[in-house]
Structure 1
C-alpha cells in the first residue's frame, strides 16, 4: 500500500473510532438539560451502545450519595438528576421506578411555597408522557414521591418536585393520610438526626395493570419507602403501603429493607460497605426511630 493511501486509511479509521466513542459516551453519560443531568440506560434493541458496569464516581466519604439505588443496565430506565432528588423514570409505565434524596435538617424548611407552583410535564422524558389531563376525573391524586415539603429550601427544587416524573396516581386518603404522615415523620427525623437518606416509589405486582388517562399512566398497587440514618450507629427501616385508604397503625407498614428489596427487585444503599449494608438492611426496629 502506498504511503499516501495508508495515511488516508489511517485518518478515516481514526475518525470512525472517534465518532463511535462519542456516541457511546453520549448514551452512557446522557445530556445536560435545563432541569438536570439525564442518563439513559437503554434497552439493547434501542441503541448499539450498551451500558456496561455503570459505577458511581469515586467520592470522599462525606459526599457519597448513599440514597441512590444500584443502576440497572439494559433496564430502559431514565435517570434524571434534579436539584433536590434523583429519579429513575420508567417510560413504559409513565411513572418513576424510584425517587431518592438526601434530606438534611436545613432542607426541612424554607421560603419556597407549593401554592406558587403547578404540576407540569417533564419534557426531559419521551412522549407519550403523563400530564395533568391524565389525572383529571381519574379518582386518583397526583401523589408526590419526593414531597414538596422536602423542597421548601429552594424554589427550583420546589418546582422540580411538581414534575410528573416525580408523581404517581395515589389514593386520596393515603396521600393526605398515612403517606403524608410518613413524609412529616421523615422531616422530623432529619431535624432530630441531622440528615437521612430516603428512597421511595411504586410497587407493581405481576398482574394486569390499571391505567389512567389518554397516556395510560399506570396505577401502582402499593408504594415503598426506605430510610437510612448514618448518625451514630447506622440504621435503616422500610415501609410498604397499599394504594388504598390506609388509616392503619404505624407499625403495620414496617418492613426490613431486605424485605422491600425482595418485593421491588431493587438494590438499596449500594454505596455502603457490605458489612454495614448487610446488617442495617436485615434489621428494622421502631424503637430506634422515635415518633
Structure 2
C-alpha cells in the first residue's frame, strides 16, 4: 500500500512539474513570439518604432540596439533620419530614404524629414524615370490624392523631399515621386525658381559639411479680416480637394564637423507664389519658433535650443507680412 501511495505521489509531482514546465515553456515561447512580432512591427511601422522603447519598458523586454537592425545588421534607416526627434506623430510613413507625416484632410504631408550625406546627392546614381509620379496605394482611397487632381490645375507637382536629394539607390529617387511627398506649387517663379534654388542650397551644404538634416512642409497662413478677425483661406484642386498651401517651409540642421561642436540650424519660409529672380534666398529666413507656431510642429526636439548655433533668425520675420 505504501508503495502505491509513493507511486501515486511521485506521479502527482511529475504531473505538476510537467504542467508547470509546459506553462513556463508556453509563456516563454509566447514571449519570444511576441518579441519577434514586435521587432517586425518596429521595423516597418514608424509609429511603433517611436513607441518601441516605451513598449519594451512596459513588457520588461531588454531594449537592445539589435531590435532596431535589419537581418544584415544595418541600422534601420529611420533611426538615422529621425535621430533628433519627430516634429509630430500624425499618420507616420516610412519610405526608403525619408520619413513623412501625412495630412489626410488636406491630401499633402504635414512634414517630410531627410538626412542627407554626400552619397545621397551623387548625381550619377539613382535617376528619375519618365512620368514616375504615382499615388501611394497604402493611403486609403478616400484620403488619397490622385494624378487627375493635378491635371490642368495650373499647379506643378512640387516635391517636398527633393528627387535630387536621393540618388544613392534608384528606389530612393523613385519614392520621392509618390504623391504623399508632392504638393501643389506655383510653377514659374517658385517650383522652377526660388524653391529649386533653396533645394540646391541644401545640397551645397551637404557638399560642404557632410551631414545635413532637413524638414520640409506646407503652411496655411491666416489672413486678417475686418474687425481684427482672422481666417485661413486656401485653394483646393481636383475631385479629392487637394489643399494648395499658401507657403512652404524648410528647416535645416547642419551637424558640426568639430569635436563637441554645436549644430547649426536655420529656417526658411517661401510664399507659394511667383518670386522675382533677383531676390536672395536669405530674404526668406524666418524665426524657427514662428514656423513652429504656424505649423504646429516642433523641429529637432531631441536637441536643446541652447545646444544649437544660430537656431533662430535674430530679427522678427517679414516673410508672412510682405509675401502673401
TM-score, normalised relative to structure 2 = 0.67
Residue 280 of structure 1 and its aligned partner are, at CA, apart by: 4.2
Task: Pick from 94, 103, 115 the counterpart of residue 129 of structure 2.
Answer: 115
Change (3 A) 1:171 1:68: farther
Q: Which string of whole-angstrom CA distances, capped at 9 and with x for unpartnered residues, describes residues 151-174 of structure 1?
A: 122111111100000000000020
1:48 aligned residue: none
Residue 117 of structure 1 and its aligned partner are, at CA, apart by: 5.5
Map 1:61-76 onto structure 2 (within 5 A). Answer: 63=80, 65-66=82-83, 68-72=85-89
1:88 aligned residue: 101
Change (3 A) 1:166 1:64: closer
What are structure 2's unaligned runs of at least 5 residues? 1-29, 56-62, 66-74, 223-231, 316-324
Larger Rg: 2
What are structure 1's unaligned runs of at least 5 residues? 1-17, 42-50, 286-291
Q: Which string of whole-angstrom CA distances, capped at 9 and with x for unpartnered residues, describes residues 159-194 of structure 1?
A: 110000000000002001000011011111101101
Runs of 4 or more above 6 Å deviation: 29-32, 57-60
Paired residues in the alignment total 245
Residue 230 of structure 1 and its aligned partner are, at CA, apart by: 1.4
Change (3 A) 1:227 1:67: farther
Task: Pick from 282, 303, 317 the counterpart of residue 272 of structure 1.
Answer: 303
TM-score, normalised relative to structure 1 = 0.74
Query: Conserved in 1, the CA contact under 8 Å of 2:184 and 2:245?
Result: yes
Task: Pick from 217, 237, 242 the counterpart of residue 266 of structure 2.
Answer: 237
Which is richer in helix?
Answer: 2
In structure 1, distance between residues paired with 2:239 and 2:208: 44
1:189 aligns to 2:205 (yes or no): yes
Change (3 A) 1:212 1:166: same
Task: Pick from 241, 244, 248 the counterpart of residue 223 of structure 1.
Answer: 248
In structure 1, distance between residues paired with 2:175 and 2:54: 26
Query: Conserved in 2, the CA contact under 8 Å of 1:103 and 1:150?
Result: yes
In structure 1, distance between residues paired with 2:289 and 2:45: 29
Change (3 A) 1:96 1:280: same
